Each structure stands twice: as structure tokens, then as C-alpha cells.
Amino acid sequence: MLKAHDAAERVAAEFLSMSEIYNTLPSIAPQPRGHGKCKEQEAHFFLCDYLSIDHELPDPVRLGEKLAELHLKSKSPTGQFGFQCITFDGMLPLNTTWNSNWSSFFTTLMHDVYKLDVKVNGFWQELDDTMQTTLEKLIPRLLDPLTAEGRSIKPCLIHGDLWESNIGTDVQTGEIYIYDACAYYAHHEKEVGIWRCEHHQMHDERYRNEYFKNIEPSEPIEEFDDRNRLYSVETLLINSAHFPGSETRRRALDELNWLIERYRDEMDGADVSVGVRNPTAWTAAPLSV
């Protein structure tokens, strides 16, 4: 049950997200039953089957198998990246507008998540400089090769916020279930970017390694760990926007600067800005992106 000005939209998005996952692979999610407005309270509800689960960290092998099965079985209804509605990571809306180009889709997603972070935490020049370079040069450098030289990537249905609190193990059967999704169709590697983030407990490399035993990274494979680092930044900024003043904002800056330095000589154009780390206060100012 949710009380908020946008509660109706948020529970509807969760219902559609979980329905898409359940309809693709019923064994990985509780069956959604409905959503709507509560009769006697100014609140909205989402209803699904009850499962008796524990919240211990899931088995990496079984999780990797089931998650890969979801991704492999899924099929975008439009053949594009995105989703049928805006979905919500926590209380934050994600731009899931359909797009046939993954690099373009992720650029828009990152841009809008960055704007949400600035709205909460204020303008920070160092991060803004780095984000400009990320949006204009780094993302194209890392994601455009996925579809270069005749390559293609399949839009896969991802959960969208797959941290340990959104995964449970049935206490009777041992089956792994996922819930509380903000789903959309994405590059399959995007799903596990969150498992790199140290503020979550599943940053043990076993989780990523077991997943990639079942579904290989995309070509160029030698760059997949850098793509994973890039994808993790969206998670860091989402966390920063939920928890003002969080250290995850600085981690996002550090991760992007590391990638920019690594690919500086390969990125198109010479004007590459990197934010300089210093204890500058974060003060509100107009967005420059």
C-alpha cells in the first residue's frame, strides 16, 4: 500500500513491470493479481501472490541461471529498448521511452537520472563537467561499438533494480524469486551493473561471474567490464538522489572520471572535460545539460 501524490502511477507501473516479468518467466516472480485505490484510505495498492521467503543473500549459481533465462526468453513487443510506461526506481521516475538505439536510450536515461540527482543535491560543477563528457563522448565510445561492424544487441526484459532486498528464496522449495521491479527492455548487461555497487551487499564478483556463465557478454567482450562500470553509475546516482549527501554521488564522479581517463585518447574530439575532486559544497544552480 502506498500513500503519495503519484501513488496511482507508481503502483500501476509496478503491476505492469511484474506482470511482464511473470508472463515471460512465471517461475521467477510471484503472480501479480491487481492494483487500485483503497476504499477507505487515500492510498493505492499492488497485490500479488504471497510467498514465504527469506532474505538471505541468494545463491549466485541459481540466481545467475534464472536471471539469464528471463533475459533470453524475453522479447520486446516493439523490438526496441524501453517500456510501455514510465517505471519507478523507488520514488524516482525512469525515462523508458521506446528507442531503437541502445546508446541513445541509455544516454537519455543517464541524463534524466542526473537531473533528478541535481534537483535533490544541488549543482556541482565537477560532476557537471564530467557528466557533459559522459553524455557526449564516453557513452557513445563504450556503447556504439555494440552495434558496429554488423553486431546487434537484443532488447532484454530486465528487473531494473535487482539488489538483495528485491530478491528472496522460498523457504520451502529453495526457488529464487524477484519482485518490486522497475522493468524495461535493455541491454542484458545493464541488469548486473547494480551488482558492482559497494553500497549493496551483492557486489561479490561471483554474482556477475555466474550470470555470465549463462549468457555471454556482448562484443567487444574486452570492454564489458568497463560497460559494467558505466552502467553502475546510474545506480549510484539513483541512490544519491534518494539519500541526499550520500557518498555515492562522489563515487559516481570517480567512476566516470576513471573511464574518461581510460578512453581519453580514443574519444572523438579533443575537448574532454573531467571534474576535479575537491570538497566544494554542492549548491543549487541551473542545469547545464
pLDDT tens digits along 91-117 = 999 999 999 999 999 999 999 999 999
User: Is 10 within a domain?
Assistant: no
Q: Does any domain span residue 271?
A: no
In a domain, 30, yes or no: no
In terms of Cα–Cα distance, which of 235, 73, 217, 95 is closest to 163?
Answer: 235
Q: How many domains does the chain have?
A: 1
Q: Is residue 34 part of a domain?
A: no
Q: How confident is the model at residue 268 (pLDDT cuts 50, 70, 90)?
A: low
Structural element, H or E, at residue 44:
strand 44-48
Any domain includes 275? no
For 121-177, the pLDDT digits (tens) are: 999 999 999 999 999 999 999 999 999 999 999 999 999 999 999 999 999 999 999
- Write out the residue range of the structural domain in which residue 76 sits: 53-266
Q: What is the per-residue pLDDT across 28-44, written as a single tens digit (0 to 9) for each?
A: 999 999 988 898 777 98
H-type alpha helices, the chain: 7-24, 60-73, 102-121, 125-133, 139-143, 205-214, 224-242, 248-263
* Packing angle of the helix pair 224-242, 102-121 (nearest 10 deg): 30
Question: At residue 288, does pLDDT exceed 60?
Answer: no
pLDDT score of 267 = 86
Is residue 110, in this structure, part of any structural domain at all?
Answer: yes
CATH number (domain holding residue 242):
3.90.1200.10
Name the packing angle between helices 205-214 and 60-73 (round to 10°): 40
Does the residue 184 lie in any domain? yes
**pLDDT band per the 50, 70, 90 thresholds, residue 272:** low
Q: In this structure, is residue 281 part of a structural domain?
A: no
pLDDT, tens digit (0-9, with 9 covering 90-100), for 5-61 = 778 888 999 999 999 999 999 999 999 999 888 987 779 888 899 999 998 999 999
Is the N-terminal amide bond of 30 cis, ω within 30° of 0?
Answer: no
